[in-house]
Amino acid sequence: MSSEDPTDEEVVQTASDAAEGYVFTQYKQSAVRDLDVTASFDDGMLEVDVYLNAPDGEETPDPETVADDAALAARDAVDDLFGE
């Protein structure tokens, strides 16, 4: 890790913000009953878990798929942070 690499805190914040941001591109904020994004970055390993309680119906995206895609968005944002 070079001195120019982001701090662990910056990585976790970037991942959390990206995951939350993705969820709110898929649902109105008022429609989300509960959202919990847990991100950790230890020894160069990023872990992101997204719990989403949102309406599931014909007119809305599948919450499980959105949660999975939000975790992927978090990983992509961290990759961008590191310039990868």
Residue 42 forms part of a structural domain: yes
Residue 2 forms part of a structural domain: no
| pLDDT tens by residue, the chain, 84 residues | 555 889 999 999 999 999 999 999 999 999 999 999 999 999 999 999 999 999 888 888 999 999 999 999 999 999 999 997
How confident is the model at residue 1, as a pLDDT? 53
Q: What gap in Å lies between CA 58 and CA 53, rounded to an integer?
A: 16
Residue 3 forms part of a structural domain: no
How confident is the model at residue 47, as a pLDDT? 97
Q: What gap in Å lies between CA 11 and CA 13, rounded to an integer?
A: 6
Look up the CATH number of the domain holding residue 13: 3.30.300.100
Contact 74, 16 (CB under 8 A): yes
Report the predicted TM-score, pTM, of the whole model to 2 decimal places: 0.91
Residue 1 forms part of a structural domain: no
User: Which residues form the domain of 44?
Assistant: 8-81
Residue 71 forms part of a structural domain: yes
How confident is the model at residue 59, as a pLDDT? 86
Residue 34 forms part of a structural domain: yes
How confident is the model at residue 58, as a pLDDT? 83
Number of domains, the chain: 1
Residue 80 CB neighbours (<10 A): 11
| Amino acid letter, 64 | E
